Structure 1
Amino acid sequence: MPASEADYWEGMEDVTMDDSYPDILDFSNRTSPPFSSKVSNPSKLTSSPYYTEVIRQLRGVFGLHKFRRNQLEAIIEALSGRDVFVLMPTGGGKSLCYQLPAVCASGQTTGVTVVVSPLLALMKDQVHALQEKSVDVFLWNSEASWDEAMQRMRVGPKPSLMYITPEKLKESNVAQNVLTELYNKQQLARFVIDEAHCISTWGQDFRDAYRDLDQLRTRYPTVPIMALTATARRNTVADIIKRLGLRDCAFFTQSFNRPNLRYIVEPKGKNWEGSMMDFIASNHPNKSGVIYCLGRDKCEEVAKKLKDRGFSAEHFHAGMTPSDKDWALDEWRSGRVHIIVATIAFGMGIDKADVRFVIHYTLPKSLDGYYQETGRAGRDGEPADCILYFQFKDFMSIKNMIERPDRDNIQATPESITRQTAAARAVVDYCLNISDCRRIQLLHYFDEKLEEKSCGHGCDNCAHSVPLITRNVTTEARAVVELVRSFQTKKESVTLIQCRDILRGAKTVVVKSKQYDKLQCYGMGQDMPSELLEQMIRRLCLDDILQENPVMQSSGYHTDYVVLGPSAEEFLRSKKVTEIQWRPKAGKTGKTKIQTAPKTSRPKGKQRALPEVDEPIELYEDDPPPIAVLGNVIRCKGDIIPGNTRKSYQVSHHTISGENAGSVEKIGRQNIIIKADPTTIYQKMLNLREEVWS
Structure 2
Amino acid sequence: MTASIPYATTQFASLEQALKHYFGYDSFRPGQRQMVEYALHDRDLLVIMPTGGGKSLCFQLPALLKEGVMIVVSPLIALMQDQVQALQNNGIPATLLNSSISQAESQSRQAAILDRKIKLVYVAPERLLSESFLGFLDQVKVRVGISAFAIDEAHCVSEWGHDFRPEYRQLRRLRHRYQNDDRIIPILALTATATERVRHDILGQLELHEPHIHVASFNRPNLYYEVRPKSSVRQAYTDLFQQVQRTEGSGIIYCLSRKRVDEITAKLQQDGISALPYHAGLSDAVRKENQDKFIRDDARVMVATVAFGMGINKPDVRFVIHYDLPRNIEGYYQESGRAGRDGEPSRCTLFYGVGDIRTVEFLIAQKVDPLTGEPLEAEQRIATQQLRRVINYAEATECRRTIQLGYFGEGFPGNCDTCDNCCHPKPIEDWTLEAQMFLSCVARFAQKGQHFGINHTIDVLRGSKNERVLKLGHDKLSTYGIGKDRSVEEWRLLGRSLLHQRLVDETTDGYSVLQLNNLSWEVLKKQRSVMLAVDQAKPERSVTETAVDTAETEALFDRLQKLRKRLADAQSVPPYVVFPNSSLRSMANLQPQTLAQFAKISGVGSRKLAQYGDDFIAEVRAFRQERGLALQTDAEPAPLLEPTPQPGLASTTQLETLALHQQGLKPVLIAEQRNFRLSTIMSHLAELLDMGYPVVLDQLVPSDRQDKIWQAINAVGPDSLTGIRDHLGEMYGYDEIRLVRSHWRRETE
**TM-score, normalisation: structure 1:** 0.70
Structure with the larger helix share: 2
Match of 1:279 in 2: 243
Match of 2:231 in 1: 269
Matched, 1:462 2:422: yes
Matched, 1:163 2:127: no
How many residues are treated as equivalent by the alignment? 526
2:196 to 234, 239, 245: 234
User: How far off is 1:262 after superposition?
Assistant: 1.0
Match of 2:516 in 1: 564
Residues 254-302 of structure 1: CA distance to partner in whole angstroms, max 9, x if unpaired?
A: 2221111111100002422112201221x214x2111011122221211
1:434-473 alignment runs, 5 A limit: 435-451=397-413, 453-456=414-417, 458-464=418-424, 467-468=426-427, 470=429, 472=431
How many Å separate the matches in 1 of 2:375 and 2:105?
Answer: 38
1:202 to 155, 160, 168: 160
1:144 to 79, 85, 101: 101
**TM-score, normalisation: structure 2:** 0.65
1:391-410 alignment runs, 5 A limit: 391-404=353-366
User: How far off is 1:152 after superposition?
Assistant: 3.1
1:376 to 319, 338, 341: 338
CA spacing shift, 1:543–1:139, aligned 2, 3 Å: closer
Contact 1:544–1:566, Cα closer than 8 Å, also in 2: no
Residues 180-224 of structure 1: CA distance to partner in whole angstroms, max 9, x if unpaired?
A: 443455722111111111111221211111111222222222110
User: How far off is 1:252 after superposition?
Assistant: 2.0
How many Å separate the matches in 1 of 2:156 and 2:462?
Answer: 36
Contact 1:85–1:226, Cα closer than 8 Å, also in 2: yes
SS in 1 for 2:341: coil
SS in 2 for 1:232: coil
Residues 574-595 of structure 1: CA distance to partner in whole angstroms, max 9, x if unpaired?
A: 39775533214589xxxxxxxx
1:257-656 alignment runs, 5 A limit: 257-270=219-232, 271-281=235-245, 283-285=246-248, 287-404=249-366, 413-433=376-396, 435-451=397-413, 453-456=414-417, 458-464=418-424, 467-468=426-427, 470=429, 472=431, 474=433, 476-496=434-454, 498-500=456-458, 502-503=460-461, 521=479, 524-525=482-483, 527-541=485-499, 545-549=503-507, 561-574=513-526, 578-584=530-536
With 143-152 and 216-225 compared, the bigger mean Cα shift is at 143-152
SS in 1 for 2:314: coil
SS in 1 for 2:291: helix
CA spacing shift, 1:129–1:568, aligned 2, 3 Å: closer
With 62-71 and 493-502 compared, the bigger mean Cα shift is at 493-502
Matched, 1:102 2:60: no
SS in 1 for 2:348: strand
User: How far off is 1:305 after superposition?
Assistant: 0.8
Matched, 1:66 2:46: no
With 189-198 and 378-387 compared, the bigger mean Cα shift is at 378-387
User: How far off is 1:103 after superposition?
Assistant: 1.7
Contact 1:265–1:389, Cα closer than 8 Å, also in 2: yes
SS in 2 for 1:340: strand
User: How far off is 1:423 after superposition?
Assistant: 1.0
Structure with the larger strand share: 1
Matched, 1:87 2:48: yes
Uncovered stretches (5+) of structure 2, i.e. residues with no partner? 540-749
Uncovered stretches (5+) of structure 1, i.e. residues with no partner? 1-39, 552-557, 588-694
User: How far off is 1:390 after superposition?
Assistant: 0.3
Match of 1:31 in 2: none
How many Å separate the matches in 2 of 1:408 and 1:262?
Answer: 41
Contact 1:437–1:461, Cα closer than 8 Å, also in 2: yes
Residues 522-558 of structure 1: CA distance to partner in whole angstroms, max 9, x if unpaired?
A: 565465345532332244345654223556xxxxxx7
How many Å separate the matches in 1 of 2:298 and 2:468?
Answer: 54
How many Å separate the matches in 2 of 1:504 and 1:408?
Answer: 43
Contact 1:54–1:101, Cα closer than 8 Å, also in 2: no
SS in 2 for 1:350: coil
Task: For 1:308, give the aligned amino acid.
Answer: Q
How many Å separate the matches in 1 of 2:464 and 2:394?
Answer: 21
With 390-399 and 541-550 compared, the bigger mean Cα shift is at 541-550
Contact 1:395–1:425, Cα closer than 8 Å, also in 2: no
How many Å separate the matches in 1 of 2:407 and 2:374?
Answer: 24
1:118 to 71, 75, 88: 75
Contact 1:469–1:582, Cα closer than 8 Å, also in 2: yes
Contact 1:314–1:337, Cα closer than 8 Å, also in 2: yes
User: How far off is 1:507 after superposition?
Assistant: 8.8
How many Å separate the matches in 2 of 1:360 and 1:197?
Answer: 22
Contact 2:402–2:501, Cα closer than 8 Å, also in 1: no
Q: CA RMSD in A?
A: 3.0
How many percent of aligned residue pairs carry the same amino acid? 38
User: How far off is 1:503 after superposition?
Assistant: 4.2
Contact 2:427–2:533, Cα closer than 8 Å, also in 1: yes
User: How far off is 1:303 after superposition?
Assistant: 0.7
SS in 2 for 1:103: helix
CA spacing shift, 1:75–1:559, aligned 2, 3 Å: farther
Task: For 2:353, give the aligned amino acid.
Answer: Q
